[in-house]
Structure formats: structure tokens, C-alpha cells
Amino acid sequence: MTAVAQLLPASRRPKRMTPARWGLYAFIFITALYFLLPLYVMIVTSLKPMAEIRQGNLLALPAAPSIDAWVKAWTSACTGLTCQGIKIGFFNSLRILVPSVGISILIGSLTGYALSLWRLPGANILFGAMMVVAFIPYQVFIYPLVRVFSFTGLGQSLLTIVIIHTIFGLPTMTLLFRNYFASLPVELFKAARVDGAGFYQIYALIMMPMATPMIVVAVILQTTGIWNDFILGLIFAGRDNLPMTVQLNNIVNSTQGERAYNVDMAATLLTALLPLVVYFGSGRWFVRGIAAGAVKG
């Protein structure tokens, strides 16, 4: 347990400043600038009126900051005939996101677990096929899948889009969990088998609790992918469940309409809010998960 305690940042005392430490902080500072620059541009643009944006001074701070664009993006920007901003899609996205993330991680971790620790005939072939699929642009599956879903009578619905996200998340999720479970000491698994634990018992009571770091990474991956998905939601979710990205696209990508970049930027930042919260919120879990992973040593 002491090793675990040492790993937690709370118990870490920052070291005194040596030249090497200065170099370290300089590295962190410069890389942080590279990462923050686009965000900075987005934020200042979203706070400028269009007349100021037309001047083209990208990095300048807004002369008179205004949150009008944010209000407009959330409540009144037109996304077709409805002019209620992007807020109407937020809850649709949430309704798609929660079950999709949950089910895809559940099935992906189960598959990864079965493929890694249980020596099943043909397991490598199944895994190999999934790996190949992970590389294929999923756009090529759209036509046949539309056919499959209309054939089964599911058509476009919330359930359809959840199944779709589960299907497309499966290869990556399986990869993630399979590799993780394979890296755990096999003795753990053997001991549980000797104690007479069954397949699902070992999964639920031993493996998943140990997989917290991977679950965090999986949640990050899936939340990002599903929340930012546009084309699948558009085609499979049905009119009543269209995700937020469809509205974002309607605001941002109009072909022949006039463009309001401040509203575009505000709408994008608003759309990205939920994944951002998940990231910031998962930081704590991240450390805890890693601590749990460290117990094995």
C-alpha cells in the first residue's frame, strides 16, 4: 500500500528548482502553448463581433468582448426552420451517448476478456478480423447497414444508433481490453479458476475492478467518438434523435448562406463542453485507476 500512496500526486512534494527542472517546465510551457493556441483563437473569435473578425487580426484580443455569439449559438441560431440554437440536440446526444458508451464498453471488455484469457478455438481469427475492420473507413459500411437495418425493421431509431455505435466501437474496445487483460499476471486468473470461479464471476469480480485505467481510457475514446459523430447519427438515429453535431454542422457548414464565425466558434465550444467535462472529471478517476493498477506489482 505504501507504494500506492507514493504514486498519488497528493502525497508528492514538488522538487526544488534545478536547471533540469527549469528545462522541464520550459518544455511543458512551450508544448502547452502549442496545444492552447487554437483554443485561444476560438475563444477570442467567439467574443468578437463579425465586423471585427472581418479585419482579420486573428490573435488580437476582442476590442469589446461580447457573449452575444454564445447566447445566439445556444438559444437562437437557425439550424433550418427551427431557430433554437444547438441546445435542442444536446439531450438527444446525451441519450445516444450514455447507452452507447456503456454497452460498447461492456461488450468490448467481455470480448477482450474472452479472447485474452480463455483459450478458445478460432479466437485469434476473430480478433484478427476485428483488427482489420478497425482500419476500414466506416463510411463504406453505410449503404449495406442501411439495408440491414431496414430489413430487420429497426429502421432509424435510438436503438439503431446505439447498436451502430456498439458495432463500430467493438474493434477498438476489444483491442484495448484484450491487451490490458493479457498484460495482467496470469496467476491471478489461474488462482481464481482453482477457487472454482466461473467465467462471468472472474470477469465481474476480478478483471473489471482491475481494469479501471483502461475503462477510463475507453470512456474517453468512446465519449469523444460518439459525441463527435455526425454521419452515423444523421443516417441511423432518426429525425427525433438527431445528435447535437447535426445542428452544429447546420450552423457551421451552410453552403451558400452568410457565415458568422463568432457563432460558429461558440457553437463548437458549446458542443465540445461535455467531452471536456468528462476529461477534466475523469482526471481524478484516472489517478485512482492507475493506483488500482499499481497494486498488482
Partner 1 sequence: MKRTLFASVAIVATAWASAPVSAEEMKAEVIHWWTSGGEAAAVKVFADQFNKAGGTWIDSAVAGAANARNAAISRTVAGNPPTAMQLNTGKQFDELVEGDLLADVDAIATEGNWKGVMPAAIIAAATRKGKMYAVPINIHGQNWLWYNKAVLASVGADEPKTWNDAITILDKLKAEGKVIPLAFSGQKNWEQNLFNAVMIGAGGAQMWTGILGKRDTSLAQSAEFKAVAVTYKKLKDYVDAGAPGRNWNDATNMVIQGKAGMQIMGDWAKGEFIAAGKVPEKDYGCTVLSNGSGGYVMGGDVFVFPKAKDPSTTKAQMTLARLMLTPETQIQFALKKGSIPVRSDVDASALDACAQKGMRYVADKAQQMPSGDMLAPPALIGALQDAISQYWNTSMSADEFSAKVAAVLKSQE
Partner 2 sequence: MRLSLTSRLSAISALLPALLVMFVVYIGATSWTVWISLTNSRMLPNNNFIGLRQYEMLFNNDRWITSVHNIVIYGVLFVSLALLIGFLLAVAIDQRVRAEDTIRSIYLYPYSMSFVVTGLVWQWLLNPTLGIQHVLRSWGFEGATFDWIVRPETAIYCLVIAGVWQASGLVMAIMLAGLRGVDEEIWKAARVDGLPKWRVYVSIIIPMMDASFATAAVLLSTGVVRLYDLSVAMTNGGPGIASEVPAKFVMDHLFERANIGLATAAATTMLITVIAVVAPYLYWRARKGEMR
To partner 2, the closest distance from the beta carbon of 96 in angstroms equals 15
Angle in degrees, 0-180, between the axes of helices 244-252 and 212-228, rounded to the nearest 10? 50
Closest CA to 39 of 276, 289, 297: 276
To partner 2, the closest distance from the beta carbon of 213 in angstroms equals 4
Residue selected from 82, 98, 143, 204 as contacting partner 2 according to rule CB under 8 A: 143
Q: Which residues contact 109 (CB under 8 A, 6 or more apart)?
A: 173, 177, 203, 207, 208, 211, 214, 215, 218
To partner 2, the closest distance from the beta carbon of 97 in angstroms equals 13
Spatial contact of 242 and 96, defined as CB atoms under 8 Å apart: no
Verify binding: residue 234, partner 1, rule CB under 8 A: yes
Task: Provide the 10 A C-beta neighbour count for residue 158.
Answer: 17
C-alpha cell at 14: 514538488
Verify binding: residue 42, partner 2, rule CB under 8 A: yes
Verify binding: residue 118, partner 2, rule CB under 8 A: yes
Cell numbers 444547438: residue: 86
Residues 265-294 that bind partner 1 (CB under 8 A): none
Residue whose CB is less far from partner 1, 157 or 224: 157
Instruction: Round to whole Å and give the CA distance between 86 and 69.
Output: 12
Instruction: Round to whole Å and give the CA distance between 297 and 293.
Output: 8
Verify binding: residue 252, partner 1, rule CB under 8 A: yes
C-alpha cell at 285: 478517476
Residue whose CB is less far from partner 2, 126 or 206: 126
* Interface region with partner 1, contact rule CB under 8 A, candidates 7-15, 22-30, 121-129, 138-146: 138-146
Verify binding: residue 147, partner 1, rule CB under 8 A: yes
Which of partner 2, partner 1, none does 279 bind, CB closer than 5 to 8 A by kind?
partner 2
Residue selected from 73, 101, 130, 270 as contacting partner 2 according to rule CB under 8 A: 130
Instruction: Round to whole Å and give the CA distance between 184 and 297.
Output: 10
Residues 32-51 that bind partner 1 (CB under 8 A): 50
Verify binding: residue 5, partner 2, rule CB under 8 A: no
# residues contacting partner 2 (CB under 8 A) = 111
Q: What is the DSSP letter of 170?
A: H
Dihedral angle at the C-alpha atoms of 170, 174, 177, 183, nearest 10 degrees? Answer: -170
Which of partner 1, partner 2, none does 22 bind, CB closer than 5 to 8 A by kind?
none
Residue selected from 21, 24, 37, 80 as contacting partner 1 according to rule CB under 8 A: 80
C-alpha cell at 203: 470477469
Instruction: Round to whole Å and give the CA distance between 65 and 59.
Output: 14
* Interface region with partner 1, contact rule CB under 8 A, candidates 74-82, 204-212, 221-229, 268-276: 74-82
| Interaction site with partner 1 (CB under 8 A) | 50, 54, 78-83, 142-143, 146-147, 149-150, 152-157, 159, 231, 234-235, 239, 246, 249-260
